[in-house]
Every structure is written in C-alpha cells, then in structure tokens.
Amino acid sequence: MAKELFAIFGNPVSHSKSPLMHNLAFQGLGFDGCYTRYRLENGKKLKETFFSLGLKGINITVPHKEHAYEACDILDPFAKKVGAVNTIVEKEGKLYGYNTDAPGFLKAISEFKEVKTVLFLGAGGTAQSTSTVLRDEGYEVTLLNRSAPRLEKYKKEGFNTYTFNDFVPNRYDLVINMTSAGLEDNSLPAPKEILEQVIPQAKACVDVIYGKETPFLKLAKAYNKPTKDGSDMLLYQGIIAFEYFTDQQYSFNEIKTHMQKVFEL
C-alpha cells in the first residue's frame, strides 16, 4: 500500500505545528503516512486542490473553515450542527467532514472546575463550533465582538451578545480570546477598559493562540489569574483528527504520547 498523504490547508499556514504533530504520531505508531502544509489562496478551490494533490485527509485552518464545510459530500452530525469543518477525510472518492475544534476545546478547558459562565472575545469561525458545544455541556456563553453583523447568527441562536459600544459587564468565570489579536502584534482582543472590568472578576483566562504569551495573557497575569494558551486545544483537536485519519485504529492516549512531543522540541 502506498504512503497516505495528509496536509493542513490555510492562509497563512507556515507557522502551523500540525505537520510536526501528525508526523511524530505516524512515525511513533508505525502508520505509513506523511503530513505536509499547503497554502490555499482560494477557498473555493479546496475540493479540486484536495484531489489534484492526491490527499487522503486534511485539516483546515483560517480562513477556509466555511469553504471546507461546503466542499464535503457527507457531514458528521456535529459538524452539520455547528456549520464548520476543520477535518476532512476521503473515503471511496467522497469527502467526509468533521469538526475536532470544539471537542478538543472542551477537553482543554475541562481542567478549570466550577466554571459556569464564559465570555468569548470575538465571534469568528472557532467561536461558531465552540459556543454550541459549550452550551450543550451546560455552560452559559456570552459573545463580545467589535462589530454587530457577526453577532446576528448568535443572537438568533439565543446567545447573549454585545459589541464594544453596548457592552454591559457581568461576572464571567472564564474569559477567552477567540481572535487572532496578539498573534502578529501587540493588540488586545477588546478595549483595555472593558478587559479591566471583566478580568479581575474571572477565575481564569484562556487564549486560543499558542506558542507565545499574548498581550491578553500578560494582562491576565498582571491580575494574578490562572492562564492557558491554545497548546492543549491544538493538541487535542489534532489527536481527534488523527483518530479520523487512521480510522480509529489508535486510542486517544496512544496518539497523545507521540503528538505531545511537539511541545518538548
């Protein structure tokens, strides 16, 4: 059997740790696979690019998660429910779509006990899947975003939503940066005066960005709050994607043993 090829599609994609994580697991578990990265300029060409590269599976990162959803022939019930796909596997010429972001995210924040209320800073693609899964698990989710149009969908689904202009602070157990603010620069995900109202009341602060201490996390630490970056979320969503890639041949913990080495390098 020929080596199976996998990739991550995104733009930008050069910073992604996914290739290293998956290749460590392929090697460690003796699976004949290889994982690379591909910068996809046009999300509408996702399907034809997938087939022209002869791939078996992909992960999809920003800004192509909605295009990934549209490219699938068959959607997992959860991916269908949240309207976002970040993992695609080819089976008999058809593309099967899954979402591993949300379950990975849920596992990552489960270490924070006694958390009921959550504030999302930002309402983009990652918020879409995670807001639904958190609500299903009994969390109360509020979304704060710069502009109103992005919030319409969440409002229809019954979430509490605010823009920077009409925000009324409340007490939130967990404050989570869902934006890319601080990834390439020193910006904060919301005005400092808003953050200074919610961080002191929070039990912990989380950033989906991994591999660097963002200005948001620095601010949280200045208030002596427990913090967490996106490393565990990246790891857990990667493990769940790997389970789909290899047709559930390996257990979560077997995969984790090899994948987590990426953070020791």
- Residues annotated as catalytic are 65
Give Cα separations from 237 to 50, 61, 216 (angstroms).
21, 12, 23
In sequence order, what E strands does 111-253 have? 117-121, 140-145, 160-163, 174-177, 204-207, 227-228
Give Cα separations from 41 to 10, 61, 148 (angstroms).
8, 12, 27
Give 3's DSSP letter. P
Residue the block writes with tokens 């596997």: 89
Q: What one-letter code names the amino acid at 124?
A: G
Give Cα separations from 16 to 69, 100, 163, 235 (angstroms).
21, 16, 31, 12
User: What is the rounded CA–CA span in Å between residue 123 and residue 189?
Assistant: 11
Torsion of CA 90, 91, 94, 96, to 10 degrees: -60
Q: Maximum distance among all alpha carbons in the chain? A: 59
- Cα angle 119, 149, 146; round to 5: 50
| Contacts (Cβ under 8 Å, ≥6 apart) of 39 | 10, 11, 12, 13, 14
